[in-house]
Structure 1
Amino acid sequence: MNIKLVTIDIDGTLITDNHVITEDVKRAIATAKEQGVKIVLATGRPLPGVVDYLKELNLNEVGDYVITYNGGLVQETATGKELARFGLTHEDYLEIDLLARKLNVHLHSITNERIYTSNRDISPYTVHEAYLVKMPVSYRTQEEMTKDLDIVKMMFIDDPEFLSEVIAKVPKEYNERYNLVQSSPFYYEILNKKASKGAALLALAEHLGIQASETMAIGDADNDLSMIEVAGIGVAMGNATENVVKASTVQTACNNESGVARAIEDYVLKK
């Protein structure tokens, strides 16, 4: 199988637990790119939380792409031109904010520029997210969240045990209207129904004239499932969730052992 496009998750996949990219991973990605393979980071993070990695991997040139917000946005890295965007409406915001209040769970909303929360006592997980993705946080009441704010995704954030209880109480109809994914034990993301890493991978592949069978996706968490399932080769990291392992074609080493490099070497560079 001749792989022409590889999508790679960031947290728990591309980077180690210490948030660094190993030299083996850097070399494998550089070699694949030199051979004409499209290497695309596909993450739940907004663009500001990805820029440094794109620069470090030299994936910010003309012809390079990035998938952010768990598939909510696909764009060229050099120009910022958007190929696909699937956001949430103001009405979506009001409904989800009301649900969060009923469930007594912390909530924040993310635009291209900022994280907004209506929780007066800002969750430490919101602070963590802001630090991780390098975005400012603003407290805004529901009334101050105006219709002109272009929200890409919203997140329930709380302690893992409590968040699991909250997820179980989310009305089933929300699964029909939104794409709901748990990206970590303390993050539960609410996205446009059309937004997913899998849909973004397919949209980008079509734009580039690449068949789905010529793609590979590498990930570790349940928000990676959609791209693992649609790719020609779905690669589960050694530290992947059980769901990702079951959905994958193959499994590689964990993120702390350069699993991304092993996958690229085994299925992309070796013809």
Structure 2
Amino acid sequence: MSIKVIIMDVDGTLTNTNKVITPLTKQTLLKAEEQGAILILASGRPTSGLLDIAKELEMHKHHGLLVSYNGSKVIDCETMETLFNQALSVEEGKAVLEHMKKFDKVRPMIDKGEYMYVNNVYDNMIMFNGAPFDVIQYESRGGKFKLCEIDDLAEFVDFELNKILTTSDPEYLQSHYEEMMEPFRDKLSCMFTGPFYFEFTAPGIDKAKALDTVLIPMGYKKEEMIAFGDGHNDASMVNYAGIGVAMANAVQDLKDIADEVTLSNDEDGIAVTLEKYMN
């Protein structure tokens, strides 16, 4: 089988627990590029949070693509041209942010340019795995954003948003996400992207739609694609690609629909699987 497109989620898939690409996985991906395959990073991260990884994998030399904001935007690594962009309208963004005010433990985060906007930079701690976790620092540093406080985000927003990210203790989100998404259930894409992340994007947006919109006109076929993921938001692309692979550390729902399950992100799962399919 000829694999021409390698699609990877980032956190929990391409990067290990320490948020780095292990040497074997990096070596395998660089080799795949030299053999003519293109790499695609498909992540909930903002575009700015993918650039360093793309550079490390030399994707700018091999026509690699960045699918960011959970599929809301696609960038060509070589030209930095936007190939696809479907954002929330100003009205949709305002409606979501207004509704989030009803949930006192939910912290919305939005970004524009070099800034990430939050209500309170000091209201930054959630409980994760039994320990305090500075989620605002984690998200802002990961996206390379400066932080800015805005008292009323719904009133502030007069621009389109590629996504609205909300965070809280995982238990709180599990208890309240149905109510959080209820007004938008049939109007927007609403989903968990991690235990402490629940996101809102434009209607119909997911990673598979972004891939289909860009790759098919380029002449690629689904049968030539392999996709790796670990989270609920990876389900669409794992279903979409000719070979859909779940990491050993993936959520069970993803394992259930994947064509195969590989080793974990700490055990070079991507590299091990690619060795089977690449010459």
Normalising by structure 1, what TM-score?
Answer: 0.93
**What CA RMSD, in Å, does the superposition of the two structures yield over aligned residues?**
1.7
Matched with 2:83 is: 83
CA–CA distance in structure 1, aligned partners of residues 181 and 10 of structure 2: 30
Residue 211 of structure 2 is aligned to residue 201 of structure 1 = yes
Matched with 1:191 is: 201
One-letter code of the match for 1:226? S
Residues 260 and 120 (structure 1 numbering): CA distance in 2 closer, same or farther, change over 3 Å? closer
CA–CA distance in structure 1, aligned partners of residues 73 and 113 of structure 2: 10
Contact 1:46 1:112 in 2 (8 A): no
Matched with 1:258 is: 268
Matched with 1:109 is: 110
- 1 or 2, which has the higher helix percentage? 1
Contact 2:64 2:76 in 1 (8 A): yes
CA–CA distance in structure 2, aligned partners of residues 255 and 120 of structure 1: 31
CA deviations on 1:184-238 (whole Å, 9 max, x unpaired) are: 1110011111321111121222132111122111000111111011111100001
Normalising by structure 2, what TM-score?
Answer: 0.90
Partner SS state of residue 208, structure 1: coil
Sequence identity of aligned pairs in percent? 30
CA–CA distance in structure 2, aligned partners of residues 238 and 229 of structure 1: 17
CA–CA distance in structure 1, aligned partners of residues 81 and 263 of structure 2: 34
Matched with 2:71 is: 71
CA deviations on 1:24-82 (whole Å, 9 max, x unpaired) are: 10111011111111111111111221111111111123622111111111011122111
CA–CA distance in structure 1, aligned partners of residues 234 and 52 of structure 2: 21
Matched with 2:132 is: none
Pairing partner for 1:165 from 147, 156, 175: 175
CA–CA distance in structure 2, aligned partners of residues 44 and 112 of structure 1: 17
Residue 156 of structure 2 is aligned to residue 145 of structure 1 = yes
1:26-105 to 2 correspondences below 5 Å: 26-61=26-61, 63-104=63-104, 105=106
Partner SS state of residue 83, structure 1: strand
Uncovered stretches (5+) of structure 2, i.e. residues with no partner:
126-134
Contact 1:213 1:232 in 2 (8 A): yes
Residues 120 and 219 (structure 1 numbering): CA distance in 2 closer, same or farther, change over 3 Å? closer
Residues 238 and 171 (structure 1 numbering): CA distance in 2 closer, same or farther, change over 3 Å? closer
Contact 1:10 1:41 in 2 (8 A): yes
Partner SS state of residue 66, structure 1: strand
**Number of residue pairs matched by the alignment:** 268
CA deviations on 1:71-108 (whole Å, 9 max, x unpaired) are: 11101112211110011122112211121111222111
How much has 1:132 moved relative to structure 2?
Answer: 1.9
Of 233-242 and 205-214, more deviation after overlay is shown by: 205-214
Residues 91 and 39 (structure 1 numbering): CA distance in 2 closer, same or farther, change over 3 Å? same
Residue 256 of structure 2 is aligned to residue 246 of structure 1 = yes
Of 13-22 and 56-65, more deviation after overlay is shown by: 56-65
Contact 2:66 2:74 in 1 (8 A): yes
Matched with 1:123 is: 124
Partner SS state of residue 134, structure 1: coil
